[in-house]
């Protein structure tokens, strides 16, 4: 990287506050038929795993025969892509956090990164879990949602503190430990980290929304 590529003090990076509307991925979609044995095993683990059983088919597979969302990128580096997707599957389907708490946390990550695909996917899941439209919209707008459940409120506040401030104040930490417990709190931090990884894949490689879907962060 040359000096010209590095942001100089006092100069705003020209793209930092202007998210790109992704219409075409920077990574070519890879069809199962073109993959080697290791890549094909990863493809099958994602397409046939617990993420697919939710709808009884293969919603992870695109009309073109590739993988949706961030998972196409993982096929380019299966040696790390497979452990990553297994962590995500475990957090989503076998975690201790209640579904509503989990999805509130994921939406906080998606809103932080303005990751359109992640928001599209998990706002739908959040609705299925019973998260209200008002709460979903407030998180999207980076406002404080009205959450009556203390656990859900603490998950939101902890996520926002960690994502926005990169620190967790001691009073918030102690309140979260008392309400959620240390095992669930560790899981929450892992969840935030995993979906931040997913968001980085999505925004870095310009992963587009499914055809016909409307972006929400360009409003």
Q: Do 47 and 88 reside in the same domain of the chain?
A: yes
**C-alpha to C-alpha distance for 44 and 56, rounded to whole angstroms:** 15
In a domain, 76, yes or no: yes
Q: 159-208: per-residue pLDDT in tens?
A: 999 999 999 999 999 999 999 999 999 999 999 999 999 999 999 999 99
In a domain, 26, yes or no: no
Last residue of a domain, one of 92, 121, 143: 92
Q: Do 148 and 190 reside in the same domain of the chain?
A: yes
Q: Do 115 and 179 reside in the same domain of the chain?
A: yes
Last residue of a domain, one of 55, 71, 92: 92
Q: What are phi and psi of 214, to 5 degrees?
A: -105, 130
In a domain, 8, yes or no: no
How far separated are the first and last CA of the chain, in Å rounded?
A: 34
Q: Give the pLDDT score at 212.
A: 92
In a domain, 211, yes or no: no
DSSP state letter for 214? -
Q: Do 64 and 140 reside in the same domain of the chain?
A: no
Q: Give the pLDDT score at 51.
A: 81
Q: Give the pLDDT score at 70.
A: 97
Pair 102, 191: CB distance under 8 Å: yes
Q: 57-108: per-residue pLDDT in tens?
A: 468 899 999 999 999 999 999 999 999 999 999 999 999 999 999 999 999 9
Over 60: is that where the pLDDT of 147 sits? yes
Place of tokens 């046939």: 48
Pair 161, 174: CB distance under 8 Å: no
Task: For residue 219, name the pLDDT band (cuts at 50, 70, 90).
Answer: low
Among 48-57, 59-68, 110-119, which range has the highest average pLDDT? 110-119
Q: What is the CATH number of the domain that holds 128?
A: 1.20.1290.10
Closest residue by Cα to residue 78 from 121, 49, 45:
45
Last residue of a domain, one of 69, 92, 115: 92
On the 0-12 / 13-18 / 19+ scale of CB atoms within 10 A, 205 is middle
Q: Do 101 and 67 reside in the same domain of the chain?
A: no
**Sequence-distant contacts of 172-175: CB under 8 A, at least 24 apart:** none
Q: Do 48 and 147 reside in the same domain of the chain?
A: no
Q: What are phi and psi of 60, to 5 degrees?
A: -80, -10
CA distances from residue 150 to 170, 173, 184, 193 in whole angstroms, order as listed: 17, 14, 14, 22
Domain count, the chain: 2
Sign of CA dihedral 194, 199, 200, 204: positive
Mean pLDDT, all residues of the chain: 89
| Structural domain for 86, as ranges | 32-92
């Amino acid at each position: 990287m040359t000096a010209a590529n590095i942001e100089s003090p006092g100069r705003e990076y020209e793209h930092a506050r202007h998210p790109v509307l992704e219409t075409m991925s920077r990574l070519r979609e890879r069809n199962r038929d073109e993959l080697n044995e290791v890549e094909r095993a990863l493809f099958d683990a994602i397409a046939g795993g617990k993420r697919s059983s939710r709808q009884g088919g293969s919603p992870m597979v695109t009309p073109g025969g590739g993988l949706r969302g961030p998972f196409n990128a993982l096929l380019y580096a299966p040696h790390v892509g497979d452990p990553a997707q297994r962590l995500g599957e475990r957090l989503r389907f076998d975690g201790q956090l209640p579904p509503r708490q989990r999805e509130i946390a994921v939406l906080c990550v998606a809103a932080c990164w303005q990751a359109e695909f992640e928001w599209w996917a998990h706002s739908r899941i959040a609705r299925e879990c019973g998260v209200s439209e008002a709460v979903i919209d407030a998180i999207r707008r980076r406002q404080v949602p009205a959450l009556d459940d203390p656990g859900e409120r603490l998950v939101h506040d902890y996520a926002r503190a960690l994502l926005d401030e990169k620190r967790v104040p001691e009073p918030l930490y102690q309140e979260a430990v008392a309400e959620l417990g240390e095992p669930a709190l560790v899981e929450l931090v892992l969840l935030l980290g995993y979906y931040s990884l997913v968001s980085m894949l999505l925004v870095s490689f310009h992963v587009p929304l499914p055809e016909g879907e409307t972006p929400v962060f360009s409003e």
